[in-house]
């Protein structure tokens, strides 16, 4: 897996590059060579990582009270967190996501957009929904990123756990949530400039450890999955669909 050195103060404030939205048909054709890394709970991680399982706290049906990620993602997140300036922590909001949660998020956003734009075609609704929530898929050749344990949603917080201002809230489905939004503005207020700098710090800390970013979501980063292969220009992905190592799953494997 790719690694990199600690983020320098200069590169941490460099502009965030503008990237196109993914062509999902292209992403889904990227081959997966599963490496069989286990899922680890981020609550095991020491400071400067904090964990807040946002969907479980919001009462989303099927959401779990933990943020699981693949072992390679776990180590890369630790490295990214340790590269941050003193007093700033990495706050993990979501990682591996049960399919039921992915379906709920997709359906909920789709219906909200349809309610706001009743004359939109189904293709238009699908495209606008996929801007912020990927299509629910357990297909071993084209899984939803969060179902692999390679996608993670993160933000920055201070030493007391208070999230820093990133310009929008986590999961706000609006244009301002696009990672490069503040890079496109000619004039910024002091508040916008502060949010832009926070986004830059997060983006570069993650990028230096091998993560790629989904351009429409400043909080979403990928490592090892098909989106990571797409934006990182890797020939293959190494994470396919993953399941938690529950007692039930263990028994199913063990009993002949």
Question: Which segments are annotated as binding site for Zn(2+)?
Answer: 146, 153, 220
Residue whose token pair is 């400067």: 48
In whole angstroms, what is the distance from residue 18 CA to residue 6 CA? Answer: 23
Going by the annotation, the residues of the binding site are 146, 153, 220
DSSP state at residue 164: P
| C-alpha distances in Å from residue 218, one per residue of 86, 146, 154, 251 | 22, 15, 9, 40
Residue 66 near residue 40, CB atoms below 8 Å? no
For residue 75 the two structure tokens come to 């180590």
| Helix, strand and coil in the chain, % to nearest 5 | 40, 10, 50
Sign of CA dihedral 11, 148, 171, 52: negative
Give the length of the chain.
Answer: 256
Residue whose token pair is 């990237």: 19
The set of catalytic residues is: 217
The helix or strand, by DSSP H or E, that contains position 114, with its residue range, turns out to be helix 99-116
> What is the bridge-based pairing of β-strands 212-213 and 88-94?
unpaired
């Amino acid at each position: 897996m790719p690694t990199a050195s600690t983020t320098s103060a200069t590169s941490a404030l460099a502009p965030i590059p503008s990237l196109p939205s993914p062509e999902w048909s292209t992403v889904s054709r990227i081959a997966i060579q599963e490496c069989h890394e286990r899922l680890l709970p981020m609550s095991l991680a020491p400071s400067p990582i904090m964990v807040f399982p946002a969907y479980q706290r919001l009462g989303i049906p099927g959401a779990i009270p933990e943020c699981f990620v693949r072992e390679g993602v776990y180590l890369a997140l630790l490295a990214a967190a340790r590269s941050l300036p003193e007093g700033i922590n990495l706050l993990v909001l979501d990682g591996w996501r049960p399919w039921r949660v992915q379906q709920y998020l997709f359906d909920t956003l789709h219906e909200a957009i349809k309610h706001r734009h009743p004359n939109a075609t189904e293709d238009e609704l699908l495209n606008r929904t996929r801007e912020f929530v990927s299509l629910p898929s357990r297909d071993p050749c084209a899984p939803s990123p969060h179902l692999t344990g390679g996608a993670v949603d993160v933000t920055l917080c201070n030493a007391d756990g208070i999230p820093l201002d990133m310009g929008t809230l986590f999961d706000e489905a609006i244009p301002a949530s696009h990672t490069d939004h503040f890079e496109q503005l000619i004039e910024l207020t002091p508040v916008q400039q502060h949010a832009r700098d926070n986004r830059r710090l997060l983006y570069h800390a993650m990028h230096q450890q091998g993560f790629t970013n989904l351009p429409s979501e400043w909080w979403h980063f990928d490592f090892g999955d098909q989106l990571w292969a797409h934006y990182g220009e890797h020939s293959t992905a190494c994470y396919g669909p993953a399941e938690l190592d529950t007692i039930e799953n263990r028994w199913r494997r063990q009993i002949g």
